[in-house]
Amino acid sequence: MNARRKARSAEDLDILIGFLGFWALVLLVTTVWMELTAQPALGWALGLLASVLALWGLIRLRKRLPARTGRRLR
């Protein structure tokens, strides 16, 4: 895999990490709210678990790619 393709892949992963991180935060708030209001929260908690595990995997994969630079390689 050449440097340009690795840089592009790293940028794509950064976008996915941000997107998934946002939804993990939404699921966390929803799960806590459901627990505090004594409503069933198992489905929300399982969704949160799945998103956190996916986020963890993406972050581990991202660490193997080159660090971001100030600008894109052309």
Q: Where are the domains of the chain?
A: 3-63
Rounded mean pLDDT of the chain? Answer: 87
Q: What is the pLDDT of residues 8-47, one digit of tens each?
A: 678 888 999 999 999 999 999 999 999 999 999 999 999 9
User: Is residue 2's pLDDT more than 70?
Assistant: no
Q: What is the pLDDT of residues 37-55, one digit of tens each?
A: 999 999 999 999 999 999 9
- Tell me the whole-structure pTM to 2 decimals: 0.76
β strands within the chain, DSSP E: none
Task: Name, in order, each residue with C-beta under 8 angstroms of 51's C-beta and a sequence gap of 6 or more.
Answer: 20, 23, 24, 27
